[in-house]
């Protein structure tokens, strides 16, 4: 499965052929391919972690955990496709006596075809070459061409070698997986007529540019982009009165984790006015070390973002310094404070994502002002609420549910479980779609529904056969049937 000498058109042609073979393969066979990749990555984890640490400065402990998450994702999707409910198989038998007469209709989800995946900078394994987008697309029968991130090219190349060798050894078709590099090639990949969908994790400017390309093609395609997220946290007066020190410690740990380079970093924290919580957060943050950032470009942008916040009259620095050289010395934590009134006055400047270990504490005077300022917050991946038992929080939960895909209670958003119920996506600009990129239902992005009317059973997918030979959950004549 060597692809280094092939042109983009040759890669996409091979991906088209491989997608047809993969779509026809059984779920059990594709699950075996995924498991083979997971086993190969685990076997070479030490080598991969060493390369990743040299390119990202994320540290061996974090990176080992991320390899485990990545291989865990691959195995989860193997379970998802063999369990079978992902197919959404539905059978409605013919009823000639109804008005009008009903034909026999059988509906199922089918793979969309070759998929382009753009790697993320901040997760060199879990959102990269063999990450969740790749795993979920391969799982359902799509072929994948990955555009590697420039921030960890050596790791991407080695990971791609391992993935390709594992797939080939497990009997997967030639062309099922490939990797390309370079911005121009990535742009051409989105525009290539063979590509049927795109998965992307990155910045708002870069993601929006590719989104516009995908949707302006002669034949537009879905663009599943994760672009940017502020992840607001709301703390009620009762919660602050009960556990301010605990909240300060939790916040300091969360917004500085991984040098603040998590897509779920809590960037906005709404607190009641007139408390000493800012001082507690400053105290909890003061000993957090400066850490190296993923790339020099990200490190250069961090102080620029800090200075932009600090330049707004009415914004105060309560911990750390905006005058820092994150390239030479690493990114040091900075805590800002301001009022909800100031955010309402200057939302364009204060409701911007600053990638790095910083957060803004925003003081609100009452629930009405809080609701007003929350209405200005752009779509996010997460929203968090810290309240006390017995408080009336229904209206707040409604507000937070409107602006985020995952609402947390009495916790912190950094850390995304990979399971059946996870939702990692939110209103724009968090993502460009309604789907999740993490968890079992991530496969839904790369599937499309097809209904077969009065079809002979011989041409149908086994999931639609009358006898249910796969033993999967189905809905038959309106009733959910479990195996």
User: Which residues are known catalytic residues?
Assistant: 226, 263
Among 196, 60, 215, 51, CA closest to 128: 51
What is the Cα–Cα distance from 263 to 153, expressed in whole angstroms? 21
Is residue 278 a contact partner of residue 361, using CB atoms and an 8 Å limit?
Answer: yes
Two structure tokens written together for 393: 């929080």
CA angle, 203 then 115 then 428, to 5°: 35
CA-to-CA dists, residue 338 to 232, 360, 409, angstroms = 14, 7, 24
Give the position of tokens 């309560």.
318
CB contact burial 10-41 (16+ within 10 A = b; e otherwise): ebbbbbbebbeebbebebeebbbbbbbbbebb
CA-to-CA dists, residue 90 to 141, 470, 475, angstroms = 20, 14, 5
Two structure tokens written together for 362: 């925003």
CA angle, 203 then 205 then 266, to 5°: 40
Give the position of tokens 């990114």.
331
What is the Cα–Cα distance from 204 to 110, expressed in whole angstroms? 30
Residue 351's CB is within 10 A of a number of other CB atoms, namely 18
Phi, psi values for residue 336, rounded to 5°: -110, 160
CA-to-CA dists, residue 135 to 310, 367, 373, 422, angstroms = 42, 43, 38, 16
């Amino acid at each position: 499965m060597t692809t280094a000498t092939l042109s983009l058109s040759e890669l996409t042609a091979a991906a088209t052929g491989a997608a047809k073979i993969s779509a026809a393969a059984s779920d059990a066979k594709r699950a075996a391919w995924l498991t083979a990749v997971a086993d190969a990555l685990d076997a070479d984890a030490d080598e991969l972690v060493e390369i990743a640490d040299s390119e990202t400065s994320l540290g061996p402990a974090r990176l080992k955990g991320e390899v485990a998450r990545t291989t865990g994702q691959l195995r989860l999707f193997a379970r998802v496709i063999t369990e079978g409910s992902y197919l959404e198989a539905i059978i409605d038998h013919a009823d000639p006596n109804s008005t009008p007469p009903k034909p026999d209709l059988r509906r199922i989800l089918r793979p969309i075809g070759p998929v382009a995946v753009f790697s993320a900078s901040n997760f060199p394994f879990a959102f990269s070459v063999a990450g969740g987008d790749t795993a979920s697309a391969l799982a359902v029968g799509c072929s994948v061409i990955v555009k590697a991130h420039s921030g960890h090219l050596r790791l991407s190349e080695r990971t791609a070698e391992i993935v390709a060798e594992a797939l080939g050894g497990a009997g997967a078709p030639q062309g099922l997986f490939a990797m390309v590099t370079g911005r121009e090639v990535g742009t051409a990949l989105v525009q290539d007529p063979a590509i049927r969908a795109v998965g992307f994790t990155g910045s708002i400017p870069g993601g929006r540019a590719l989104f516009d390309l995908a949707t302006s093609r002669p034949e537009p395609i879905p663009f599943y982009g994760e672009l940017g997220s502020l992840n607001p946290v709301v703390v009620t007066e009762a919660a602050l009165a009960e556990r301010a020190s605990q909240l300060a410690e939790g916040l300091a740990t969360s917004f500085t984790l991984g040098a603040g380079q998590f897509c779920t970093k809590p960037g906005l924290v709404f607190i009641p006015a007139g408390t000493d919580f800012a001082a507690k957060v400053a105290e909890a943050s003061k000993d957090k070390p400066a850490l190296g950032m993923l790339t020099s470009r990200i490190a250069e942008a961090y102080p620029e973002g800090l200075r932009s916040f600090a330049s707004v009259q009415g914004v105060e620095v309560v911990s750390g310094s905006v005058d820092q050289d994150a390239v030479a010395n690493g990114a040091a934590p900075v805590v800002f404070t301001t009022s909800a009134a100031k955010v309402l006055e200057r939302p364009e400047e204060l409701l911007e994502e600053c990638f790095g270990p910083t957060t803004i504490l925003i003081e609100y005077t009452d629930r009405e002002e809080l609701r007003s300022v929350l209405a200005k917050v752009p779509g996010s991946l997460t929203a968090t609420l810290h309240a006390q038992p017995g408080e009336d929080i229904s209206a707040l939960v409604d507000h937070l549910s409107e602006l985020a895909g995952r609402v947390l209670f009495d916790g912190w958003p950094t850390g995304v479980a990979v399971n059946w119920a996870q939702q990692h996506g939110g209103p724009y600009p968090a993502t460009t779609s309604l789907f999740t990129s993490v968890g079992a239902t991530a496969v839904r992005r790369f599937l499309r529904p097809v209904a077969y009317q009065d079809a002979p059973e011989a041409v149908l997918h086994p999931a639609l056969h009358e006898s249910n030979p796969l033993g999967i959950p189905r809905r038959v004549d309106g009733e959910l049937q479990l195996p």
